[in-house]
Amino acid sequence: SVELSIVVPCFREGLGLDRALKKIADTSRASVSSMEIVAVDDGSNDDTWEIITKCRVDNVHVRGVRLSRNFGKEAAIVAGLTAAQGRAVIVMDADLEHPPELIPRMIAAWKAGALIVNGCKITPQPTSRFRSIATRAFYAVFKMSAGMDLRRDSDFKLLDRSVVAALGRFPERVRFFRGLSRSLGFEQVDLDYSPASGTRSASGFSTFGLLRYAVRAVVAFTSRPLRWLGVVGIMGFALALVLGGHTLYMKITGRAAEGFSTVILLLLAT
Ligand code: UDP
Ligand code: MG
């Protein structure tokens, strides 16, 4: 059996993908007895799939998984985890933003008994001003609603086979991989890394794409925002009852101006 699988979600990575996969293989090879790379083409419309199928690396089996359309990074990760056969599975980006140099240390931590190794960034990713404000807002909301501080967490992780198997039992819950490992339990180790800058001109996600992603991430973990909305709804209803009662009282006691009670009651009812 294979000792290590490296799952790499790829969306329009054409340029540079071949070099990245080779670099990943070269930095990991010495740490394990055998390894494979599972490159998942997330419905790219460039030559990503071509490059994956043609990629040859010494002693490393590069296996391609091709999704029928662009399902998004989370789905690509799930597909990769399902296909991976290693006793340890590493998930990392295709653009070398996650430095392969961390891989030998992740494997060492795994061999020392860790079942999950989290790659934690020590410096924030280089993004636009708007993105960085939006990102901070997202993590604040996530912390408030789901009670987890994920500011330094990333999708760069190593999972033991037993953890992959646990995830396989509820794949529909894997909507926000970054936060999932923290909520799972298991013996975990955090390793710091500084994200390589200038690996890519821009994030592959659009602003609206990120917004949708953020909402899904929170909803995947907690129903607390839903309950907050429920409380707001009940308070609004209670207020309407009080005001309605007051309006009726004024009408009955003849202190209301002609026609006003009808308008107020209709407004409160809607
Ligand atoms: N990715 C994917 N599907 C998508 C968007 C991105 O599989 O719809 C992959 C992409 O190829 C890369 C990783 O997810 O390997 C991170 O994407 P990117 O670097 O664009 O985003 P970042 O998180 O760096 O902003
Ligand atoms: Mg990136």
Q: Which residues line ligand 1 (CB under 6 A)?
A: 9-11, 13, 42, 70, 72-73, 76, 93-95, 97, 200, 203-205
Question: For the ranges 7-11, 256-260, 262-266, which has the lowest average pLDDT?
Answer: 256-260
Pocket test for ligand 1, best of 24, 73, 206 (most atoms within 8 A of CB): 73
**What confidence category does residue 213 fall into, taking pLDDT thresholds of 50, 70 and 90?**
confident
* Residue that is written with structure tokens 């907690």 in the block: 222
Which own/partner contact pairs does 176-180 have at CB distance under 8 Å and 24+ positions apart? 176/74, 176/216, 176/217, 176/220, 176/221, 177/74, 177/77, 177/91, 178/150, 178/153, 178/154, 178/217, 179/142, 179/146, 179/148, 179/150, 179/153, 179/217, 179/220, 179/221
* Residue that is written with structure tokens 């004024």 in the block: 250
Distance of CA 203 from the midpoint of ligand 2 (Å): 6
Count of beta carbons in the 10 Å neighbourhood of residue 151: 15
Length of the chain in residues, anyone? 270
**What confidence category does residue 126 fall into, taking pLDDT thresholds of 50, 70 and 90?**
low
Among the atoms of ligand 1, which is closest to the Cα of residue 8? Answer: 15
Residue 138 has pLDDT above 90, yes or no: no
pLDDT in tens, 15-47: 899 999 999 999 999 999 999 999 999 999 999
Give me 249's structure tokens.
């009282």
Q: Whose CA is nearest to atom 19 of ligand 1?
A: 203
Give the start-end residues of each E strand in the chain. Answer: 4-10, 35-41, 60-66, 88-91, 116-121, 153-160, 188-193
The mean of the pLDDT values for the chain is 88
Pocket test for ligand 1, best of 11, 125, 131, 150 (most atoms within 8 A of CB): 11
Among the atoms of ligand 1, which is closest to the Cα of residue 209? Answer: 8
Distance of CA 25 from the midpoint of ligand 1 (Å): 19
**What confidence category does residue 201 fall into, taking pLDDT thresholds of 50, 70 and 90?**
very low
